[in-house]
Amino acid sequence: KPVQVLDFLGIEQGMTVLDLYAAGGYYTFIFSKAIGPEGVVYAQNTVRGRQFIEDRQDITQGQALDKKIENGKLSNVVQIIRPLTNLGLQPSSLDAVMVAQVLHDYYNSDADRALNMLKQLKFYLKPGGVIGITDHVGIAQHDNNELHRMTIAQARDVAEQAGFDVFESDLLRVTSDNHSRSIFDPGLNRTTDRFLLRLQKPLNPEPPEQLP
C-alpha cells in the first residue's frame, strides 16, 4: 500500500527525503516518483549493506538499487554509501526519513542504540519533518531478537524519548501473522504483521540541537 503510506507520512512533490538503509530501493523508487523532479531522494546504504543478496534475486542489494535507478531513470536519487554516523548532510535539511524494517535491529541489540539513531535523524530533519517507521510486530513474551521483531510499545517509547510526536496507522497490519515465527519463515511469504508510525519533529524543538 505504498500510496497510502506516503499519504500518511505527508509526502509531497519537491520534498527532500532520506531512505535510510535503502537496500534494493523499494521505497527509493516510490519516493522518487512521488516527489518529482524538484525533489531529492537520498538512498543510503553502507558498503557492507550493498553486498547483501537482494530478496528472491541473484544480485546484491547494491546492484538491485543501481538497476532501479538506471532503468527507472530516477534522476532525483542521490546515493549515499556511508554509515549513519557520517551521512554528510546539512542539519535541518530533510523533510522526511524512511526507516523500513530497521529499527528492530537497533533496538534488539541495544535500546540506547535505537534512541541515538532516532536522535541523529532528528538532527537532520527540518522542524515539522517526519520519520516513517515500519517494522515487524512482535509480542512481549517472545524472543523478538531471534524473530527479528519488536513490540509497538517499544517503538513508540523510544520515539517519544527521542522527542518526537508519534502517530500510528494500521495500514500494514496483517491479522494472519501470529507473531511467533521469524520474519524469514517461508510460510509467512513476506506477509508479516507490520506497524506504521509517523514521528514528527516539533516545530519549535528545544535548542540547542547538536548531532548526538
Instruction: Report yes or no: 38 and 66 within 8 Å, Cβ to Cβ.
Output: no
Identify the sign of the CA torsion 95, 101, 103, 106: negative
User: Tens digit of pLDDT for each residue in 153-162?
Assistant: 999 999 999 9
Average pLDDT over residues 183-199: 81
Q: If DSSP codes are grouped into helix, strand and coil, which group holds residue 56? A: coil
Extents of the domains making up the chain: 2-200
Cα–Cα distance, 181 to 141 (Å, whole number) = 13
In DSSP notation, 125-173 reads EEEEEEEEEEEEB--TTS-HHHHT-B-HHHHHHHHHHTT-EEEEE-TT-
In CATH, which of 3.10.450.100, 3.30.70.1150, 3.40.50.150, 3.30.465.10 is domain 2-200?
Answer: 3.40.50.150
Instruction: Report yes or no: 9 and 94 within 8 Å, Cβ to Cβ.
Output: no
Average pLDDT over residues 22-43: 94
At residue 209 the predicted structure's pLDDT band, cuts being 50, 70 and 90, is low
User: Tens digit of pLDDT for each residue in 2-18?
Assistant: 999 999 999 999 999 99
**Full-model pTM:** 0.88
